C-alpha cells in the first residue's frame, strides 16, 4: 500500500508517495500524522496522510517510519475541504491543512549520534582519509561518546555535515537514533491508590512506622481512599522516592488520568422559553430542514434538489432574540444525533454567547478561538475529536472544528469583515461554512440585523430562504437616534471637544439616573498621528508608509500595522523643530476627557486593554458588575453585547469608516451605526443613540437613524449594479510585495501585460468576457508594509472560478523570486 503524504512545514505544494510497511498497514489511516525520511539525507519529517492507494507512478519509494496517532486527526471531509480551499484561495494544501489541526501541534525530532560498537578504525581508514568532515566527526564522537545532533553541529561546523553522517551511517561507522517529541500534549494527573485492603495497609503502616515514617504516613492516608500523588506527597511531608518505594513493594498502584484545562466556567442551567411568533416560524422551518437532511445519505446528491432551502438568512433587528432561535434550533439538531457549529465575528463576543450556550447545553459545548492558550485550545480540540461535544462556539477558525456529524452551522453577525482571513489561506468563513455544510448535508443559518449586501441579494434572488424578525423580543421600540452635525458644533458653537453638547448632556443625564452608556470610536491610541507644525512632516513608521500613533501609556509612538514602537519625539526628525503637535483622537484620549464628567466611571475596551489572556471577559465582567457606568471602545463594542441597563449609545466619529477608499464604505458605516445603536434599550427602558458626523446628509447615516435596512439595501444595490461591484461581479486583488521597489513595479507590470494577453480579456463581445475590467497597476493602499514595497491590480470578473487557471499561472510564473511575493485575494474585504 502507498500513502500520499503532505509534509509539514514545506512550501512545496504537492504530496509525496511513501510505502506503508506491512506492520503499519492497520494503523496507517487517512488523516493520521506520520514520521518519514525526507530529502536527500533522509532527515526525519512529520506529515499527514491524505490518500492511500494501491500503486505509485514512482520507483524506489521510502518507507513510513512511524505512525504518530492512534486515530485520524482529520477525516475525509477535512481533506476534501483542504483540496477545495487550495483551488479556491490559491494557497498550498499544507496551508489549508494547518487550519484543520490544532495550532502549535508540532513534532520535534531529536537525533542522537554515536560510534557503532562494531566500528573498526582500521577498516574505515580509507573513508576517513578521504573526508575531513568524517574524520572530525569520528574524533569528536571518540572523545564525547553519544551526542545530540545540535551539539555535534556546534563542534563540527561544516556545510556537508548531513552528507558525511549519511556516508558514515551507510558504512556502519556511526549509529543515528531518533526520538520524537510533540510540542503539545494532554495534561494528566497521577493518582495513587492501594493495591491491598485498607486494613492490611494500616497493619503494614504500623510495622514500618519506625524505619519508614513517610511510607507509613502515606499508607494511612491512602487507607481513607485514593489521592492525587501531589497531595499525598504534600500531606505526608514526603517525597516521590517514598511513593516509588511503595510501588516497588506492590502495596500501591499509580495511574494517570487525562484532565482538561477549562476554557470556560459552567453557570446556571437554563431552559428554552416559549418562542415568539417570529421565532417559532424560523425554528420550525430549520427543524424541517434538519429532518429532511437526516433522511438523505451523504452520498445522495438529491438533497440539493429538496424543496426546502438548507441555506437560510435571518434579518433580525437588534434585540429580536436571534440567539434563542440558535439555541432551540441546535437543541432540535442534537435530538437528531447531529452536531452544531456557531461562529461569532469577534473574540469579544465569545464570553457572552458562550455563557448562553453553556447554560443551555452544559459541558457538551466546546470553545475555539485565538485568545485561548495553546493548551486550552488543544484540550478543547481533543474533546471535540473524542466525541464529547455537541456544540462548538468560536470565532472564524472554529469552522474547522473536527466534528464528524454536522447538522447545522450558524454564522452570527454574518456581515462582519472579520470573517475574512487576511493571511493565506485568505478564506471567508461564510464560504467555508457553505462548503462544509455541502459535504455534511447540513443546514447553514446566516443571521444579522444588517446582512451583507451580497447575502441579502442571494436571499432576494431565491438562493437562500429569507426570514425577517422586525420586533424586539420584549416588544420594546428600537432606540431613538439623534444625528449631530459636528460642522455646526465647530462653526456655530465653537465647540472643539470630541463630545457634542447633545452627547455630553445625554451622558451626564445617564450618570445622574444611574444608567449605563456605551461610546464607540474606531481609533485606538491617544492621537492618530504626530506632526511638526514647522515643516508639516508627520512621524512615520520606519517599516511602513503609515504614520505612527501616539499612545500615552509609556509615552510611545506605535505602528498598528507592523508593531514597530519608539519613544515619543520632542523634536522633528526632519527639521529639528521643537514645535510638535498631536492630531486626531483615539480611545485613550476620549477616555481621558470622560474622566472630567462628574460621576463618570470609565472602562476602555480595545486591543490595548484586552490583549492579555481573559482580557475581554474581564472588561465585560467589570462593566456588568455595576462598578462602571461608561464603556468606550473600538468596533468590539458595536455588536453582540447585551446589557439591559445600557440606555445610551454614542458614536463619536461616524465618518471614520465612511471616508475609506472602499466600495463597501457605506455598507460598513450603516452596519456599524445600526449595530452599535442597537446596544441601547435592550432592557425595560427605551434606548437613545447620538451619532456625531460631519456628513449627516449621507444616506448611510440618514437610514441608520431610522434603522431602515431595507431602504439602505435598495439604494446600495442600485449603485452596485450601476458601477458593477459585487454581487454583480467578483473582485480579484493581486498584490506584489518586494524588498526592492523597482522589482515590485516590474513584476506587477509584467502581470498586467500577461492578463491583457489572455483570451478571457480579449473577447470582443463583452457578454463573453470573463475579465470585465483591469484597475491598475498602482501602489497598494499601504504602499510599504514591513519593509516591503507593494503594488496592486484589481480585476473585475464575471466569476473568479472562471479565471482560476490564469491566476494559478500568474502565481507560478511570477512568484519565483525569493524577495518577491504574490498574494491573490478573492473578494478582499
CATH code 3.40.50.300 for 480-524+586-721: yes
Task: Answer yes or no: is pLDDT of 385 > 80.
Answer: yes
What mean pLDDT is predicted for residues 549-560?
Answer: 91
Helix (H) or strand (E) holding 188: strand 187-194
What mean pLDDT is predicted for residues 33-55?
Answer: 89
Are the C-beta atoms of 1 and 61 separated by less than 8 Å?
A: no
**If we measure between CA atoms, which residue out of 708, 637, 664 comes closest to residue 481?**
708
> Could you tell me the residue ranges of all domains in the chain?
2-108, 109-182, 277-469, 480-524+586-721, 527-585, 730-826
- Is 480-524+586-721 the same fold as 277-469? yes
Task: Answer yes or no: is pLDDT of 205 > 80.
Answer: yes
196, 374, 529, 572 from 633: Cα distances, Å = 62, 27, 19, 31
pLDDT, one tens digit per residue, over 639-657 is 777 788 999 999 998 888 8
Query: Would you identify the CATH topology of the domain 2-108?
Result: GIY-YIG endonuclease (3.40.1440)
- How many angstroms separate the first and last alpha carbons of the chain? 45
pLDDT, one tens digit per residue, over 690-741 is 999 999 999 999 999 999 999 999 999 999 999 999 999 999 999 999 999 9
Task: Answer yes or no: is pLDDT of 544 > 70.
Answer: yes
Q: What is the DSSP letter of 116?
A: -
Helix (H) or strand (E) holding 219: helix 213-223
The torsion region of residue 755 among left (phi > 0), alpha (psi -120 to 50) and beta comes to alpha
Distance CA 739, CA 718 (A): 42
Extract the C-alpha cell encoding 665: 464604505
Q: pLDDT value at position 134?
A: 86
Mean pLDDT, rounded, of the chain: 88
What mean pLDDT is predicted for residues 224-237?
Answer: 89
Task: Answer yes or no: is pLDDT of 400 > 70.
Answer: yes
pLDDT, one tens digit per residue, over 503-524 is 999 999 999 999 999 999 988 8
**If we measure between CA atoms, which residue out of 638, 662, 635 comes closest to residue 649?**
638
How many residues appear in the chain? 829
Distance CA 69, CA 30 (A): 11
**pLDDT range class, residue 131, cuts 50, 70, 90:** confident
Task: Answer yes or no: is pLDDT of 40 > 90.
Answer: no
**pLDDT range class, residue 302, cuts 50, 70, 90:** very low
Distance CA 140, CA 153 (A): 11
Q: pLDDT value at position 133?
A: 86
Helix (H) or strand (E) holding 779: strand 771-785
pLDDT, one tens digit per residue, over 349-382 is 667 788 889 889 988 999 988 777 777 888 888 8
pLDDT, one tens digit per residue, over 475-497 is 888 889 999 999 998 888 888 88
Q: pLDDT value at position 798?
A: 93
Kindly report the backbone phi and psi dihedral angles of residue 795, in degrees, each rounded to the nearest multiple of 5, phi listed first. Answer: -115, 130
* CATH class of the domain at 730-826: alpha beta
Q: What is the pTM of this model?
A: 0.84
pLDDT, one tens digit per residue, over 243-296 is 888 998 999 998 887 766 665 666 667 788 899 999 999 999 999 999 987 775
Task: Answer yes or no: is pLDDT of 762 > 80.
Answer: no
**pLDDT range class, residue 307, cuts 50, 70, 90:** low
CATH code 3.40.190.10 for 277-469: no
Distance CA 821, CA 823 (A): 7
Distance CA 530, CA 522 (A): 18
Is pLDDT larger for residue 817 or for residue 753?
753
Q: pLDDT value at position 298?
A: 46
Distance CA 192, CA 225 (A): 9
Q: pLDDT value at position 373?
A: 77
**pLDDT range class, residue 473, cuts 50, 70, 90:** confident
Distance CA 197, CA 199 (A): 5
What mean pLDDT is predicted for residues 44-59?
Answer: 91
Q: What is the DSSP letter of 604?
A: E
**If we measure between CA atoms, which residue out of 801, 810, 796, 794 comes closest to residue 758?**
810
Percentage with pLDDT > 70 across the chain: 94
Q: pLDDT value at position 327?
A: 96
Amino acid at each position: 500500500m502507498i500513502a500520499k503524504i503532505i509534509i509539514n512545514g514545506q512550501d512545496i505544494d504537492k504530496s509525496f508517495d511513501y510505502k506503508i510497511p506491512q506492520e503499519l498497514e492497520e494503523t496507517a489511516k487517512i488523516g493520521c500524522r506520520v514520521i518519514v525520511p525526507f530529502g536527500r539525507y533522509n532527515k526525519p519529517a512529520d506529515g499527514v496522510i491524505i490518500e492511500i492507494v494501491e500503486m505509485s507512478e514512482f520507483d524506489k519509494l521510502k518507507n513510513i517510519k512511524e505512525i504518530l496517532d492512534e486515530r485520524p486527526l482529520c477525516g475525509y471531509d477535512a481533506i476534501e475541504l483542504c483540496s477545495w480551499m487550495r483551488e479556491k484561495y490559491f494557497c498550498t494544501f499544507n496551508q489549508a491543512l494547518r487550519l484543520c489541526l490544532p495550532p502549535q501541534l508540532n513534532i520535534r525530532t531529536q537525533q542522537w549520534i554515536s560510534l557503532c560498537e562494531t566500528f573498526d578504525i582500521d577498516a574505515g581508514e580509507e573513508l576517513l582519509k578521504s573526508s575531513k568532515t568524517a574524520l572530525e566527526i569520528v574524533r569528536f564522537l571518540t572523545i564525547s561518546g553519544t551526542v545530540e545532533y545540535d551539539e555535534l553541529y556546534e563542534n563540527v561546523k561544516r556545510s556537508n555535515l548531513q552528507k558525511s553522517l549519511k556516508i558514515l551511517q551507510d558504512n556502519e561507522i556511526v549509529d543515528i537514533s531518533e526520538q520524537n517529541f510533540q510540542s503539545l500534549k494532554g495534561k494528566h494527573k497521577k493518582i495513587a491508590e492501594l493495591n491491598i485492603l485498607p486494613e492490611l495497609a494500616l497493619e503494614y503502616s504500623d510495622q514500618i512506622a519506625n524505619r519508614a515514617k513517610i511510607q507509613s504516613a502515606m499508607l494511612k492516608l491512602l487507607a481513607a481512599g485514593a489521592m492525587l500523588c501531589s497531595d499525598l506527597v504534600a500531606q505526608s511531608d514526603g517525597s516521590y522516592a517514598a511513593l516509588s518505594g511503595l510501588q516497588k513493594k506492590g502495596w500501591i498502584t499509580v495511574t494517570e488520568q487525562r484532565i482538561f484545562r477549562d476554557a470556560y466556567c459552567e453557570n446556571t442551567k437554563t431552559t428554552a422559553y416559549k418562542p415568539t411568533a417570529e421565532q417559532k416560524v424560523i425554528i420550525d422551518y430549520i427543524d424541517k430542514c434538519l429532518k429532511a437532511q437526516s433522511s438523505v445519505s451523504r452520498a445522495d446528491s438529491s438533497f440539493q434538489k429538496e424543496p426546502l432551502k438548507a441555506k437560510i438568512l435571518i434579518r433580525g433587528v437588534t434585540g429580536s432574540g436571534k440567539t434563542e432561535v440558535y439555541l432551540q434550533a441546535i437543541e432540535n439538531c442534537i435530538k437528531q444525533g447531529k452536531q452544531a457549529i456557531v461562529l461569532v465575528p469577534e473574540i469579544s463576543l465569545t464570553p457572552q454567547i458562550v455563557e448562553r450556550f453553556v447554560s443551555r447545553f452544559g459541558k457538551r459545548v466546546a470553545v475555539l478561538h485565538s485568545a485561548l492558550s495553546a493548551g486550552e485550545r488543544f484540550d478543547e480540540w481533543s474533546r471535540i475529536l473524542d466525541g464529547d461535544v455537541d456544540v462548538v462556539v468560536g470565532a472564524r477558525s472554529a469552522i474547522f472544528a473536527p466534528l464528524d456529524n454536522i447538522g447545522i452551522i450558524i454564522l452570527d453577525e454574518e456581515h462582519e469583515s472579520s470573517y475574512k482571513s487576511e493571511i493565506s489561506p485568505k478564506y471567508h468563513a461564510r464560504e467555508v461554512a457553505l462548503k462544509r455544510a455541502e459535504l455534511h448535508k447540513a443546514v447553514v443559518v446566516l443571521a444579522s440585523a444588517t446582512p451583507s449586501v451580497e447575502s441579502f441579494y442571494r436571499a432576494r434572488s431565491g438562493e437562500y430562504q429569507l426570514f425577517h424578525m422586525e420586533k424586539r423580543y420584549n416588544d420594546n421600540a428600537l432606540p431613538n437616534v439623534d444625528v449631530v452635525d459636528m460642522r455646526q458644533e465647530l462653526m456655530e458653537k465653537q465647540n472643539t471637544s470630541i463630545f457634542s453638547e447633545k452627547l455630553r448632556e445625554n451622558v451626564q443625564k445617564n450618570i445622574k439616573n444611574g444608567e449605563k452608556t456605551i461610546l464607540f470610536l474606531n481609533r485606538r491610541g491617544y492621537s492618530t498621528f504626530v506632526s511638526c507644525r514647522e515643516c508639516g512632516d508627520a512621524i512615520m513608521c520606519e517599516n511602513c508608509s503609515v504614520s505612527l500613533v501616539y499612545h500615552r501609556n509609556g509615552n510611545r509612538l506605535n505602528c498598528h500595522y507592523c508593531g514597530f514602537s519608539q519613544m515619543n519625539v520632542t523634536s522633528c526628525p526632519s527639521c529639528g523643530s521643537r514645535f510638535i503637535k498631536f492630531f486626531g483622537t483615539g480611545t485613550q484620549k476620549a477616555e481621558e476627557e470622560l474622566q472630567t464628567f462628574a460621576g463618570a466611571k470609565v472602562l476602555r475596551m480595545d486591543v490595548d486593554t484586552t490583549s492579555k489572556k481573559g482580557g475581554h471577559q474581564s472588561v465585560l465582567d467589570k462593566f456588568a458588575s455595576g462598578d462602571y457606568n461608561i464603556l468606550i471602545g473600538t468596533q468590539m463594542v458595536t455588536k453582540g453585547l447585551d446589557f439591559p441597563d445600557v440606555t445610551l449609545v454614542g458614536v463619536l466619529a461616524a465618518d471614520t469608516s465612511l471616508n475609506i477608499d472602499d466600495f463597501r464604505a457605506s455598507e460598513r458605516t450603516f452596519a456599524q451605526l445600526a449595530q452599535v445603536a442597537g446596544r441601547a434599550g435592550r432592557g425595560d427602558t427605551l434606548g437613545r443613540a447620538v451619532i456625531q458626523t460631519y456628513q449627516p446628509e449621507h444616506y448611510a447615516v440618514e437610514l441608520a437613524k431610522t434603522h431602515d435596512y431595507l431602504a439602505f439595501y435598495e439604494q446600495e444595490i442600485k449603485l452596485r449594479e450601476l458601477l458593477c461591484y459585487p454581487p454583480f461581479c467578483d473582485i480579484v486583488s493581486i498584490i506584489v510585495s518586494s524588498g526592492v521597489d523597482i522589482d515590485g513595479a516590474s513584476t506587477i507590470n509584467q502581470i498586467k501585460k500577461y492578463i491583457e494577453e489572455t483570451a478571457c480579456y480579449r473577447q470582443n463581445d463583452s457578454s463573453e468576457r470573463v475579465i470585465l475590467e483591469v484597475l491598475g497597476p498602482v501602489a497598494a493602499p499601504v504602499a510599504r508594509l514591513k519593509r516591503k514595497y507593494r503594488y496592486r491590480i484589481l480585476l473585475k470578473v464575471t466569476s473568479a472560478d472562471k479565471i482560476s487557471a490564469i491566476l494559478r499561472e500568474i502565481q507560478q510564473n511570477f512568484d519565483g523570486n525569493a524577495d518577491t511575493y504574490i498574494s491573490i485575494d478573492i473578494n478582499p474585504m
